[in-house]
Structure 1
Amino acid sequence: MKTDRRTTLAGIAGSLALLAPGGSAFAAEGNRFIRRDGTRLLLGSEPYRITGANMWYAAWLGADAAYGDRARLGRELDRLQALGINNLRIMAAAEEGPLRHSIKPGFSRPDGSLNRELLAGLDYAMAEIARRGMTAVVCLGNFWEWSGGIATWLYRVTGQYTDMNDPAHPWPAFPDATSAFYGNAEAVRLYHDYVRTVVTRTNSVTGLRYIDDPAVMCWQLANEPRPGGSDAVIAQRRESYFQWIDDTAALIRSLDRNHLVSLGHEGTQGANGSEDIVRRAHQAIDYLTAHIWPLNWGWVNGKDLPGTWDAGSAKVSDYLATHARLALELGKPLQFEEFGFPRDGEVYSPGTPTTFRDRYYAMIYGAVRASWTKGGPIMGSNFWAWNGEARATHPDYRFRDGDRAYMGDPPHEPQGWYGVFNTDESTLALVRDHAAQRCLGLSAPCPAR
């Protein structure tokens, strides 16, 4: 925006959206909030098509602190804008505690007190995202350990925790233990208190309340919240899981009538294959999300991508189709908000070819474009994730406490595993070409964001 952001957005705040029946926001004329209309996301009267990326660490870069790097944040956002990226999925929550491989500092310290410095980093990042005409999916929690997550809220109440990938507690011990959070009223209360803090916050950079900021596309309950790991625990905890979703969505809407609410769910893979859980979990949610991880889920072998590609890509195709069908059944939009794939040979270093990753990205983008063309429910996608100019600090490609070269690959993963570097020219060309098609076929001028 070329006009003064504080003045412009203060004017926008004058036309607030009301909450429509069924939980989706609708906008008055001239409103700039993204809203849901059936299986479409709209900005004004036109479909809001998303060509997005994941950049969980934006707030950390935005902090005016030793661990921050505002100059790098600006460079990365400029690169993404030049690629045609219009939406970023970012973390607005991280809880410090005993879990291994979780990012420090967090938004809340071990004693539960708030890290005002990092919250101000979120403010700065959101202001810079808005200044470039982008929107953000603002994630308010995490099922996994790399940002502390709901396991840490549970630990603060019970004093107990299970580490992910602990040999003494193999899979599915971690998701089974973590899902106890949903039925613990005190742990949920602590999480809800934090949700209130962020949603009702006033941006210290722009002076605009987040509830009035059109750069917020939606509030997301958590990253990949699962009802458990084993079938037995899922059966035991599914009702408390659904209640947590419904109650949190209702809480956010009681605080903010302008923005969408999403769950951050992986889809059937995050529910041990249950379509019924996916349907029920999204009843109070504005749009479906799905994440696709062929390597993590054993659909391909990273050391033999040529030999396993055909079978793996067939499963990807089926997963895409299944979730498009579920979206149509629920009458809601669908966003493939995480999709990742390794470099050739599952090598982490920049410069390694991305032959099969590029094929994978082309598959996802092809399904998205087909839905755009046919008026289907898929509104877009966010690749996982943006590494940009960051490079691994250590020869073993592992993140260590105190490292500041944040990548899209979170602290518990090899640095360079899935992230896209600023030198990955063939992948960047795919992203750029896909983004250039975002506005094809629209009946009015393409939305500014």
Structure 2
Amino acid sequence: MNKLFRCCGALALGLALAAGGALGAPTPAGFVRAQGTQFTLDGKPYRYVGANYWYGGLLATQGPAGKARLATELDFLKQHGVANLRVMVGAEGLSNGYQYRVLQPLQPTQGQFDERIMAGLDYLLAELGKRQMKAVLHFTNTWEWSGGLGQYLEWNGYTGQPLPKNPGYSWDKYRAYIAQFYTCTPCQDAVATYIRYVLARTNSLTHKKYVNDPAIMAWEIINEPRPMLPAATPAFEAWMKQTAALVKSIDPNHLLTTGSEGDIATDNDMAVYERLHADPHIDYLTIHIWPKNWGWFRDTATAKGFPAVLARTTAYVNKHAAEAQKLGKPLVVEEFGLPRDGQTFTPAATTALRDQYCGALFGMAKGNTPASRVIAGYNFWAFGGAARPVPGQVFWKPGDAYMGDPGGEEQGLNSVFDADQSTWAVIDQYSKTIR
């Protein structure tokens, strides 16, 4: 970033802060704010390289060993400049024989909440606060691995949810099933009850109300919202809008975002993405980037397709950066990943392409480019910490350690383990540069 841009940016930021102080309530200390296309923290620019740590709130529920692992991993992350973690608030529903679902739900049955799971989230937030780290917390999920929207449909009489890896599953059947959520009033009421429950909580350890806790940077309505079918788009947008208004009516202190992947979630209809993030209750834009899942390279031919992956990634970021600039809000690249070289899942496999990919993405926040002026943060997918896949076992089983890959994904596929030294070298470099 050149000196002229720094100077002008600082002047603009100062004017924005002065206007905020004059026109609104004083900003509570320790809370992240959106000021134009960047974040601020206590009056200073706040930019970050963060991680996804979806299971972070579950570790403390596993007794002394889980708490010890959590403390070690948070210290490790902080040492590497990773102080922003994207975490699941809680899972919904019991497994009912589906082995790939999170087996420690916050909401075992509709409207019934497990205090032990919330105590685990309390513990995580208390530990983050001690380390001056921040959490981005998403309420629910489009996908089945944590219950999500499909669970609310099941609870309200919509039978026959197609589940991945089960007989009869297809993507088209799953889309059609989930799209029903946006016209299911009891389902939406149940999510609203869940959100109110969480936002009304007082941390059992710090005695801070969640709405007053600066360890929380932001809330997210849902992980990867999608209308699923074009015909469901109006109802989908209406639900997102009313849910955003609900969150902000209870908690005006924290930032709020959507959790969106970008326009790929709406069949490349950028107008839908723009309307979602133009909502005045939505403070910043998000995108996710999944070259493997989106078919940007074939099978295990990551190296062969890598130049095209980089080109498509750059174009995808730039397209959404233009939307962020248009709306005058920050952009966070909050999920991205690439398999280990050769798409083997063992930690012994190298990560040369992943490292190069992360470096290219992080590098887009440098300099004085349209993208660099709106990118305010990154959360790579995902921190696997000290966990390791069970040798000879592909998918998660009860009793296995949690890692970055949810149960329905190959364990080790996208996890960044604490021993991945070459990846941490890239993260170290850019976490300092971006800050």
- TM normalised by structure 2 equals 0.90
Distance in 2 separating the partners of 1:253 and 1:111:
23
Displacement of 1:404 in angstroms is 3.8
Q: Secondary structure at the match of 2:364?
A: helix
Question: Does 2:413 match 1:417?
Answer: yes
Which has the higher mean CA deviation after the structures are superposed, 369-378 or 342-351? 369-378
User: What are the residue-to-residue correspondences of 1:16-415 with 2, within 5 Å?
Assistant: 28=26, 31-63=29-61, 65=63, 69-97=66-94, 98=96, 101-110=100-109, 112-160=111-159, 161-228=161-228, 233-234=229-230, 236-284=231-279, 285-370=282-367, 376-393=373-390, 395-400=392-397, 402-415=398-411
After TM superposition, give the deviation of residue 339 of structure 1 in Å.
0.6
1: CA distance between counterparts of 2:198 and 2:349?
A: 40
Give CA deviations for 1:133-172 in whole Å, capped at 9, x if unaligned. 1100011010001101111011101242221354523112
Q: Output the amino acid matched with 2:107.
A: S
- Asked if the contact 2:101–2:147 (Cα under 8 Å) also holds between the matched residues in 1, the reply is yes
CA-CA distance at 1:30 after TM superposition: 6.1
Tell me if the contact between 1:54 and 1:383 (Cα under 8 Å) persists in the aligned partners.
yes
Q: Compared with structure 1, are the counterparts of its residues 81 and 26 closer, same or farther at alpha carbon in structure 2 (3 Å cutoff)?
A: farther
Give 1:64 deviation, angstroms.
Answer: 5.3
Partners of 2:217 and 2:42 in 1: how far apart? Answer: 13
Contact 2:290 2:336 in 1 (8 A): yes
Amino acid at match of 2:106: F
CA contact (8 A) 1:60 1:118 kept: yes
1:444 corresponding residue in structure 2 = none
CA distance in 2, matches of 1:50, 1:392: 29
Farther off after superposition, 79-88 or 44-53: 44-53
Contact 1:146 1:412 in 2 (8 A): yes
Query: Deviation per CA, 1:88-111, whole angstroms, max 9, x where unpaired?
Result: 000002112445511011101135
Equivalent-residue separation in structure 2 for 1:258 and 1:358 (angstroms): 36
Q: Please report the RMSD computed on the Cα atoms of aligned residues, expressed in angstroms.
A: 2.0
Alpha-carbon spacing, 1:328–1:75, altered in 2? closer, same or farther (3 Å)? same
Secondary structure at the aligned position of 1:335 is classed as strand
The CA distance in 1 between the partners of 2:432 and 2:37, in whole Å, is 23
Structure 2 alignment gaps of length 5 or more: 1-16
- What is the Cα deviation at residue 354 of structure 1? 0.5
> 1:217 corresponds to which letter in structure 2?
M
Aligned equivalents of 1:75, 1:412: Cα separation in 2: 26
Q: Relative to structure 1, is the Cα distance of residues 181 and 49 closer, same or farther in structure 2, using a 3 angstrom cutoff?
A: same
- The 1:373/1:405 distance shift into structure 2, 3 A limit, reads same
Residue identity over aligned pairs, in percent, reads 36
3-state SS in 1 of match to 2:156: helix
* Structure 2: distance between partners of 1:313 and 1:406: 30
Structure 1 317/178 Cα, relative in aligned 2: closer, same or farther at 3 Å?
same
Cα offset for 1:52? Answer: 0.3
TM-score scaled by structure 1? 0.87
Question: For residue 7 of structure 2, what is the aligned residue in structure 1?
Answer: none
Q: Could you list the per-position Cα deviations for residues 267-308 of structure 1 after superposition, in whole angstroms to 9, with x for gaps in the alignment?
A: 011111110110011122111000000111111235122211
Cα separation, 2, equivalents of 1:60 and 1:414 = 20
For 2:113, what is the secondary structure of its paired residue? coil
Residue identity in the other structure for 2:260: H
Superposition deviation, residue 33 in structure 1:
1.1
Instruction: Judge conservation of contact 1:302–1:345 (CA < 8 Å) in 2.
Output: no
Q: Secondary structure at the match of 1:301?
A: coil
d(CA) in 2 for partners of 1:186 and 1:30? 36
* Structure 1 segments unaligned to the other structure (5+ residues): 1-16, 440-449
Large movers: runs of 4+ above 4 Å: 371-375
- Give the SS at the match of 1:172: helix
Q: 2-side partners of 1:209 and 1:304: how far apart?
A: 49
* Cα shift at 1:392: 1.2
Shift of 1:403: 2.2
CA distance in 2, matches of 1:416, 1:29: 41
Partner letter of residue 388 of structure 2?
R
CA contact (8 A) 2:85 2:135 kept: yes
